[in-house]
Amino acid sequence: MEYAYRCPNCGYRAMSHSQRISPECPKCRSLLEYDIREDDKEEFLGILDALGTLRVNHISKDRDVIFLDLGRSHIEYRDIKGPISDLGYDMYLREKNGLYHAFLIKKPPESAGGMLSKGYVYILLFIATVISTIYAGYVLSAPLVDEGIMGNVWSGALSFSAGLMAILVCHEMGHKVQSIKSGISSSWPYFIPMPFLPLGTLGAIIKMKSPIPTKRDAVYLGASGPLIGVLVAIPVVIIGMRMSYVVPASMFEGGGISLGNSILFTLLTYVSSVSVPEGMTLWIHPLAFAGWVGLLVTMLNLLPAGQLDGGHVVRALFGDRGHRKISSAMVWVLLGSGILGLMSEMGYLPLGNYFWSGWLMWGILVHFLTRGGHPGALNEIEPLSRNARIVAVLALITFIMCFVPVPILIQ
C-alpha cells in the first residue's frame, strides 16, 4: 500500500510504501500531513457528504482506518451516527484538550455466525452445565451423607446446581437484556460445563458482535450482570446458611478446607441467625456454598481490568489512559498477592491468612485479558449521566463487599 503526503505550506507532495517517512517537508521544514489519494477520493467524498455541515479539517486513511480531524467543531453524535452507519462504518468519536477527532472502521460483514451460533449449541451447553453442576453437588453432598448429617445426597446435589445456575443465568441475562436495550449485537450465553472442578462449571460468556454505543451503555453493560447476580446470590446464601449443619469441631481436627468470608457473606451469615456454640463448627449446606460461589464470581467479574465487567465501568469513568493504568496496577497487585501467598504456603512467610497463591493464576489471566486494551464506546464525548455514575458506585461497593483476600484456606 502506498501512503501519500502533502505539505500544507508549500504544496510539496511525496509517496511512500511505508509510514517511515520524515515528518518534515524537505523544502520548507513544515510538518507533512496525509494527502488524499485518487483511489480514496470517492470514499472520502461519500463520508464528507454524510457528515453534512460538520466541519472536517482533515481526512486521511491508514490501512483500513479513516481518521477525521474535527478541530473544535460542535458535534451532535446522534445526528451523524445514522448516516455514517448507513455507509457501513462504525464511528469512534474522541476528544482531547478541547479538540475532537474521529476514526471510522468498516463494520464486519453480517454472517450466520457458523455452527456455534446455532440455537441447539446454547441449549446443549446449558443442559451439559446443569448436569455438570449436579455432579459437583453430588460430590459435595456425599461426605455429609457418609457422616449421617444429610439424609439424601440428591437433595444436596440438586440444591447446589439450582442455586448456582440461578445466579449464573440471572448474571448473564442481565448482560443480554442490557445489550439489547443498548442496541449492542451479542450472542446468547455460552455456559461452560466442567465436571472435573468442584464447582462443575467455569461460568458463562456472551460474545459481543458490535461496539458499545456510549459510556453510559458501557457502565450499564458492565454492572448489570454482577448487580443482578448478587441480588440472586443473597437469598441463596441466607436460605443455604439456615439449612447448614452445626457439627462438633473435632470432626475437622485432622484438617480441612475453610472458605474465606467476604464482608457481604459475613453479614448474610449474621442475618441468617446461625448460632455456633463453643466447641462446635459450621458445615455449610451445598446451597450455601452455591451462594458463596456466586459472590466470588461477582467479585472476579468486577475486577477493574481489561474487558471484564469491572473493566467496562473503569473505561467509561477514566478513559483509555486511566483504564490502562488501573488494569496494569491490577495485574501487579494480583501477581504480587499470588507470589506472597505461594511463599506463605511453602512456609517461607507467615501470611497464609492474608494472601492466596490462586491470585497468581488470576494475575496471569488478567494480564492476557488486558493486552489488547479496551476499545471504549463509540461516543466518548458525551458525559456520564448522574444515574450511570450511581450505578458505577454501586458496582464498586459490590466489588468491595464481595472481595475475599483468601477464598480458600487449607488447614
Residue 213 is predicted with a pLDDT of 93
Interatomic CA distance for residues 297 and 313, integer angstroms: 17
Residue 338 is predicted with a pLDDT of 94
Interatomic CA distance for residues 261 and 403, integer angstroms: 8
Q: Which CB contacts under 8 angstroms, 24+ apart, belong to 78-83?
A: 79/52, 80/50, 80/51, 80/52, 80/54, 81/378, 81/379, 83/50, 83/51, 83/52
Q: Which residues contact 176 (CB under 8 A, 6 or more apart)?
A: 186, 188, 189, 206
- Overall fold of domain 36-107: Gyrase A; domain 2 (3.30.1360)
Positions of the chain with pLDDT lower than 70, given as ranges: 1-5, 13, 15-23, 34-39, 110-115, 253-256, 410-411
Residue 34 is predicted with a pLDDT of 63
Residue 354 is predicted with a pLDDT of 84
Residue 32 is predicted with a pLDDT of 74
Nearest to 218 by CA among 323, 296, 299, 294: 323
pTM of the complete model? 0.84
DSSP letter assigned to residue 62: E
Could you give the angle at the alpha carbon of 212 between the alpha carbons of 211 and 216, nearest 5°? 170
Nearest to 133 by CA among 193, 50, 211: 193
Residue 1 is predicted with a pLDDT of 42
All structural domains of the chain with their residue ranges: 1-32, 36-107, 115-410
Residue 370 is predicted with a pLDDT of 86
Residue 20 is predicted with a pLDDT of 45
Residue 16 is predicted with a pLDDT of 62
DSSP letter assigned to residue 38: G
Tell me whether strands 58-62 and 65-71 are parallel, antiparallel or unpaired. antiparallel
